[in-house]
Amino acid sequence: MSAPMVIAIDGPAASGKGTLAKRLAEHYGLPHLDTGLLYRAVARSMLDAGLSLDDESAAARAAASLIADKLADPRLRERAMGEAASRISAVPAVRSALLAWQQRFAANAVGAVLDGRDIGTVVCPHARVKLFITASAEERARRRHRELTLRGEETIFAAILADIEARDARDASRATAPLRAAEDATVLDTTELDPDEAFAAAKQVVDGARAH
């Protein structure tokens, strides 16, 4: 029996890592986890309970009690939840609670595809494949603006760009598990790539790892 194929995909907001992760998971028949949904679900549960996102103790309790059913809430895809998730993800106790959740998922017998911001560096440091997906802030803002517009949400490009830049700064500077490429990750800049081209480039990396 071959060793589990764990594919760790990291990158900043709107870099295309989620779309890429889903396509790779479907192609290789692996379960997929968008780890950002975990943080969004914790933030959503706090807001639903009327709690402040600055209440670190409440955030830690919400993370410790998170159940998989919460990840199906369509409200987690709303733009505001990305900002909220970025805020609570800086809480060390939240990251610690969700780390165990993610590692259990990655321990699947056949492997798994996980995308987030610290998969290759913290969650799955021994993953067989590590990809760091990036793109310019302006291109990522354009993608997010287009996505939200297609969803029927009223958006302002400048505001989205400012949100992305603020999230980049917060994710890269947090004390616990900051956003960065693992030393052994393949960096894939998708600024000039469409989804099919990005998938082809990533698939080449995965196939190379499988061959060895």
pLDDT the model gives residue 1? 44
Q: Is 43 annotated as a binding residue?
A: no
Q: Is 121 annotated as a binding residue?
A: no
- pLDDT tens for each residue of 163-197: 999 989 988 888 778 889 999 999 999 999 999 99
Q: Is 35 annotated as a binding residue?
A: no
Residue 140 has a CB neighbour count (10 Å cut-off) of 25
- pLDDT tens for each residue of 155-169: 899 999 999 999 899
Q: Is 12 annotated as a binding residue?
A: yes
Q: Is 178 annotated as a binding residue?
A: no
Q: How far apart are CA 118 and CA 137, in angstroms?
A: 19
DSSP 181: -
Strand-strand pairing, 32-34 and 186-189: unpaired
Q: Which amino acid is at 71?
A: L
Q: Is 11 annotated as a binding residue?
A: yes
Best CA proximity match to 115, nearest among 100, 94, 131? 131
Residue with tokens 């302002």: 156
Q: What percent of the chain has pLDDT over 90?
A: 77
Q: Is a pLDDT exceeding 90 seen at residue 151? A: no
Q: Is 208 annotated as a binding residue?
A: no
- pLDDT tens for each residue of 42-74: 999 999 999 999 999 999 999 999 999 999 999
Q: Is 22 annotated as a binding residue?
A: no
Domains parsed from the chain with CATH numbers: 5-211 (3.40.50.300)
pLDDT the model gives residue 137? 96
Q: Which residues on neighbouring strands pair with residue 5, listed in sequence order?
A: 111
Mean pLDDT of the chain: 93
Q: Is 116 annotated as a binding residue?
A: no
Q: Is a pLDDT exceeding 90 seen at residue 211? A: no
pLDDT the model gives residue 126? 94
